[in-house]
Amino acid sequence: MKVDVKAANQFFNQKRLRLTAIIVVFGLAYIGASLGLGFQSRSLLGVQDGIAWLAQNFIPNEASKGYWTEISQQLLRTFLVAVASTTCTAAVSLFLAILGAKTLAVSRSISWLIRGFASLMRNIPIVAWAMILLFSFKQNDLTGFLALFFMTLGFLTRAFMETIEDFGTEKIQALQATGATYLQIIFQGLIPEIAIALMSWILYMIENNVRDATLVGLLTGTGIGFIFNLYFKSLRYGAAGLVVLAVILLVVSVELISNLIGRLLS
Partner 1 sequence: MIKPENQVSLPTQLPAGPRFTIPLRFRDRRRVTMLITLLILGYVTLITLPTMIPDHFKLVEAITGFTENIKIMFLQPHLSNTSWLSLLGGLGQSILLAFLTTLIGSVLAFFLALASTRRFAPTALVLGIQSFMAVIRAIPTVLWVLIYSVVFGLGANAAVIGITFHSVAYLTKVYADSMDELSPEAIETLQAMGLKRPAIICQALIPYLKPSYLSWTFIRFEINFADAVAIGAAAGAGGIGYQLFMSSSFYFDFHEVGVMVYLILAFAVVLEIISYRLRSSNTAQH
DSSP 38: T
Q: Between 2 and 42, whose beta carbon lies closer to partner 1?
A: 42
DSSP 230: H
Q: Does 34 bind partner 1 (CB under 8 A)?
A: yes
The binder of partner 1 chosen from 105, 133, 167, 176 (CB under 8 A): 133
Q: Does 44 bind partner 1 (CB under 8 A)?
A: yes
Which one, of 216, 195, 173, lies nearest residue 261 by Cα?
Answer: 195
Q: Does 26 bind partner 1 (CB under 8 A)?
A: yes
Q: Does 244 bind partner 1 (CB under 8 A)?
A: yes
Q: Between 111 and 214, whose beta carbon lies closer to partner 1?
A: 214
How far apart (Å, rounded) are the C-alpha atoms in residues 79 and 91?
A: 19
The binder of partner 1 chosen from 1, 2, 50, 109 (CB under 8 A): 50
Asked if residues 109 and 196 have their Cβ atoms less than 8 Å apart, the reply is no
> In 3-state terms, what secondary structure has residue 222?
coil
How far apart (Å, rounded) are the C-alpha atoms in residues 99 and 105?
A: 8
Q: Does 39 bind partner 1 (CB under 8 A)?
A: yes
The binder of partner 1 chosen from 1, 3, 5, 47 (CB under 8 A): 47
Which one, of 163, 168, 157, lies nearest residue 120 by Cα?
Answer: 157
Question: Phi, psi (5° rounding) for residue 106?
Answer: -70, -50
Provide the angle, in degrees to the nearest 10, between the axes of the packed helices 191-220 and 68-100: 130
Which residues form the interface with partner 1 (CB under 8 A)? 26, 29-30, 33-34, 36-40, 43-44, 46-47, 49-50, 53-54, 80-81, 83-84, 86-88, 119-120, 123-128, 131-138, 140-142, 145, 195-196, 199, 202, 211-212, 214-215, 218-219, 225, 228, 232, 237, 244, 247-248, 251-252, 255, 261, 264-265
